[in-house]
Amino acid sequence: MSRVGNRVLIIPEKVSVEINGSNVKIQGPLGILERQFSDLITIIQENNTLKTIRKSEEKQVKQLHGTTNSHLSGMLIGVSKGFQKELKIKGVGYKATLKEKVIELLVGYSHPVELKVPNELDVLVPNATTIVIKGIDKQKVGQFSAQIRQVRRPNPYSGKGISYSNEILKLKEGKKASK
């Protein structure tokens, strides 16, 4: 029994949901999200709630049940509140700049690393060591922030690099002086 799949999702105010078979279109104040779901899960809209019902008790269908419910929940939050990830840059001379729709990262390489910002996302660089990524699609916000972090992951000894603002780095101990 999927507890996540059995959750009843409440549709926020100013958000409209269109269900066409297994295709769901959710429209809200921040934008429109559309997604194709599996035919093995039935999505039902009753008043201002969404329910997911599985068509059989097979293992794969049970797995899809909770996943579908979580994706719908993310879509509802995305079009009403949006998603945001914040990255911190730590290191001497490490910094980020935003030029139109391109982020330029100076993170210890012999050249600046440039990343093109996807059209669906908004990126802010409030200061040289902070990057804020905003958008309505949770997957795209997470994917782009992971792509930025991948340019220079935090060093396990010094912590230098790009990390999420809420990420707790457990630093390793360096070599000890020999006796």
Please state the domain count of the chain.
2
Same domain, 88 and 157: yes
Same domain, 26 and 94: no
pLDDT at residue 124 is higher than 90: yes
Same domain, 44 and 56: yes
Average pLDDT, rounded, for the chain: 91
What does the DSSP assignment read for 16-46?
EEEEETTEEEEEETTEEEEEE--TTEEEEEE
Same domain, 107 and 76: no
pTM of the model: 0.88
Range of the domain at 72: 9-80
pLDDT tens digits, 127-173:
999 999 999 999 999 999 999 999 999 999 999 999 999 999 899 88
Same domain, 92 and 142: yes
| C-beta separation of 120 from 137 below 8 A | yes
